[in-house]
Amino acid sequence: MAPLLSKSTDALLIRLRFRADAKRVVYHIPLGSICWDDEVPDVSDPIRVPEDEQNLMWRLFIIRFKIWDSAPLPAEDQ
């Protein structure tokens, strides 16, 4: 099975660390949610993260929202 994310995107996510001083951030698009700024990588530079990989990262948040809502997950999201 091929990796879902490139090495550069994987490295970007691995660098995320819990910060006690993290600030709340409201994402209207694409998440429509409140997150902490230490859990979302900076994907503003499209050269660093390809769009298809950005979409995979956002999908992880969507899956988390489903889990919070006790919604059933499709097989591909489990």
| Interval 11-68: pLDDT, tens | 878 888 899 999 988 877 666 777 888 887 766 655 577 888 888 877 887 888 888 8
Q: Look at the pTM and tell me if it is higher than 0.75.
A: no
Query: Please, are residues 35 and 27 in contact by the beta-carbon 8 Å criterion?
Result: yes
**Which residue from 7, 11, 22, 5 is spatially nearest to 60, judged by alpha carbons?**
5
* Contact predicate 38/23, CB 8 Å: no
* pLDDT for the residue numbered 22: 92
Q: Domain-by-domain residue ranges, the chain? A: 15-73
